Structure 1
Amino acid sequence: MKVLSMRVIAGSAKRLQLKTLDGFDTRPTTDRIKETLFNMIAPFIYDSVFLDLFSGSGGIGIEALSRGAKEAVFVEKSPQAMTCVKENLKTTHLESGAMTLTQDVMSALYRLEGEKVFDFIFMDPPYNQGLERKVLEYLSESHLVYGDTVIIVEAARETEFSYLEELKFSCIKEKVYKTNKHVFIEKAGKEEIC
């Protein structure tokens, strides 16, 4: 493990450095993109329940906790990456609000069913493997999501989400970067802009 230029941007753990894994098995969201993302959702983070799927080194969920989220659940199947998440939680003194699940995302969703309801669900799956669609198909029928849950998918820029309507979801916002994008999704009924 090594420290790249990844840090907590704001809140109780502001400026603390986060560890990331060597190599490309995990692809940490850059500080600039993370800052843009949290600028968009900052007013709604305080006291929220946050789910960080495919959490890698945990930077997104930790940012949410640092900014006042009541709880964050981190799901990551790689034991090495989860060790990194736990070290980062310890460094930032945010362990008390965290739940960690070292398992496959679909298994974790089944496990959480009936136990939690999330205000935010963030996922950053490996690109171009269709994993975001598999998760969204599950969430479309899940009690983990309620009318105001915001699902944020980080995906390759070319990933298309034309199937959202058939899953009874709406794309409410899309923020495109150089090589990737954030797609903001809610239950159908909200104004669709994508």
Structure 2
Amino acid sequence: MRVISGAFRGLRLNAVPGNQTRPTADKVKESMFNMLGPYFDGGHALDLYAGTGALGIEAVSRGMHDAVLVDRQYAAIKTIKANVALTKHPESFTILKMPVAKAIDHFTAAEQSFDLILMDPPYAQQRVMAQLAAFVSGDLLVPGGRVLVETGLDVVYPEVISGYTKLRRQTYGVAQVLILERNEEDHD
């Protein structure tokens, strides 16, 4: 597992020990970021269910100003800290150990918003639609901001997702990736 492109290109990242975390394959990660941009001109990223921190680290490597990496597992947080240290730019990252629902409430209360939200939830615990709605109602995503969600194929998305425009949906084996953009007109 490595950083695919940008400032940290080629950096080898540590995996979370055990089988609680399912890292995104490098080929899938490369494809995901190519669909997103593939490079960014600043902005703030939020990596929920961060696992190894690879998606948030990749976003910063490709030009995001900073990233908040959220996971609730101790082993994941320990791995994220080690991987952030490898970048030699720890000031570009904030690491939070908390459940995603609590993180969403935290950012809503703090009136903090992001330009890019990355989500790779555990396949057995997907609450994606409720979380997407919370991003809009809590103004966690700026108008025109993007969400990238990697889920299992068992998640069936409605044709229309309130507050968003679907930009792309792609399948990779047992996974699917959905990229959404926050509608400008739905912002108060």
TM-score, with normalisation over the residues of structure 1?
A: 0.87
Q: Structure 2, unaligned stretches of length 5 or more?
A: none
Work out the CA distance in 2 between the residues paired with 1:148 and 1:141: 15
Of 92, 109, 120, the match for 1:124: 120
What is the correspondence of 1:149-160 to structure 2 with a 5 Å cutoff? Answer: 149-160=145-156
Q: Per-residue CA shift, 1:23-72, capped at 9, x if unaligned?
A: 32111101000111111223452302111000001000001111121010
What is the correspondence of 1:2-151 to structure 2 with a 5 Å cutoff? Answer: 6-113=1-108, 114-151=110-147
Structure 1 pair 82–11 and aligned structure 2 pair: CA distance change class (3 A):
same
Q: Per-residue CA shift, 1:144-181, capped at 9, x if unaligned?
A: 1222011111011231111753x333322111111111
- Contact 1:50–1:71, Cα closer than 8 Å, also in 2: yes
Q: Which amino acid aligns with 1:175?
A: Q
Q: CA RMSD in A?
A: 1.8
Report % sequence identity: 31
Q: Structure 1, unaligned stretches of length 5 or more?
A: 1-5
The one of the two structures with greater contact order (alpha-carbon pairs below 8 A, sep at least 6) is 2
Structure 1 pair 178–62 and aligned structure 2 pair: CA distance change class (3 A):
same
Work out the CA distance in 1 between the residues paired with 2:86 and 2:31: 24
Work out the CA distance in 2 between the residues paired with 1:120 and 1:18: 21
Work out the CA distance in 2 between the residues paired with 1:188 and 1:96: 31
The farther-off stretch of 111-120 and 94-103 is: 111-120
TM-score, with normalisation over the residues of structure 2?
A: 0.90
- State the Cα distance separating 1:188 from its structure 2 match: 4.5
- Contact 1:157–1:177, Cα closer than 8 Å, also in 2: no
**Local SS of the residue matching 2:181:** strand
Moved over 6 A (4+): none
Work out the CA distance in 2 between the residues paired with 1:122 and 1:53: 6
